[in-house]
Structure 1
């Protein structure tokens, strides 16, 4: 990864690390914001940023905090937009062009409620629309924010970790200290739990469709 990041670019990034946090925060914000997240998913760029963290080009803490704050803020705005528009908002411009996506999110939210907000951030087809639907359906604000903030805290390291792992390389894993290895184990457990949850949700959805 260090070879990929050419020295001039790397020096520029190192000397302007404040911009890294801002860019990551904006990407996470856009990824979570309704419509923007549908049209311009930023996950790929965030994975690349994770690689820069692993290569030592960018400090991890500002990037992680920016990703968490941006993701939580994007979902919060989408939620309040849904509350303001109400259930009939789907018939208004520009949401009327995305009725299929919103209908899918509404079904997902109707089935799983609180869990839909928490897991939805990791579930591509409904990621950018579940917060909007939660607002439209009148979900309690406190319950929404608990699910929103907890999922943002988990989502940030999970989305950055693939790039970080690639940059570190498998050969360097034995050299990591106990704290880093514990962190990796926690992230791996979270990812596994999310994968299992998504699989269960999909299987349950198929079963309900047959009945």
Structure 2
């Protein structure tokens, strides 16, 4: 295996019983600020869907753990932002992410609740929007509502394309490397969904006077 994602898929194929917890951890770290910027979760999750479609791993624990991991990851990022406040933008571990935070702050200022709901699908802001929501003290119940709904949309959006492709292609006896290549091609699906959701969310806007300063 020449790639960490390929290694992960091979591990899941060999130890299918651990697939749920492993994917839960992947979803958790993908949602965490800083770490999430470097975790290649989209292609990997789609490829995992391919393993489900091929009958190699069971779907129920993977879907459940992916949703739970995604919820917890965003919740931790939100809690960090809420506890540390604006100084988190200047933290020494996050100095290289100032542009990502600037984008997330602008995105949150414009879209509020919807930024948390659809931000998970948008690479440049996916792990930084929860931090911004915490910094500006977005009500926890409101954040968690968006967070849970987002995770429940995110996991199927990434797993189902690979699931359907894997079911069709299982007859060709594909290896993990081949599923990974297919997954990279299917990455456009969740990105397109995120773009469509963003366009829909952008139509009815709150009045500027009501926008909170970030």
- Residues 101 and 50 from structure 1, CA distance in 2 versus in 1: closer, same or farther, beyond 3 angstroms? same
Q: Which runs of 5+ in 2 are unaligned?
A: 1-8, 172-189, 205-214
- Superposition map of 1:83-122 within 5 A: 83-122=82-121
Alpha-carbon distance in structure 1 between the residues aligned to 2:12 and 2:81? 38
Q: Which runs of 5+ in 1 are unaligned?
A: 1-8, 173-189, 205-211
Alpha-carbon distance in structure 1 between the residues aligned to 2:156 and 2:196? 18
1:117 partner SS: helix
Alpha-carbon distance in structure 2 between the residues aligned to 1:15 and 1:54? 16
Q: Is contact 2:50-2:163 (8 Å) kept? A: yes
- Residues 21 and 90 from structure 1, CA distance in 2 versus in 1: closer, same or farther, beyond 3 angstroms? same
Aligned-residue RMSD, C-alpha: 2.9
> How far has the Cα of 1:117 moved from its partner?
0.2
- Residues 57 and 151 from structure 1, CA distance in 2 versus in 1: closer, same or farther, beyond 3 angstroms? same
Alpha-carbon distance in structure 2 between the residues aligned to 1:105 and 1:156? 22
1:10-62, Cα deviation, whole Å (9 max, x unpaired) = 8x857733311111011111111111111223211111110000001111110
1:151-182, Cα deviation, whole Å (9 max, x unpaired) = 10111111111211211229x9xxxxxxxxxx
> How far has the Cα of 1:200 moved from its partner?
5.0
When the two structures are superposed, what TM-score results if normalisation uses the length of structure 2?
0.75
> How far has the Cα of 1:97 moved from its partner?
2.0
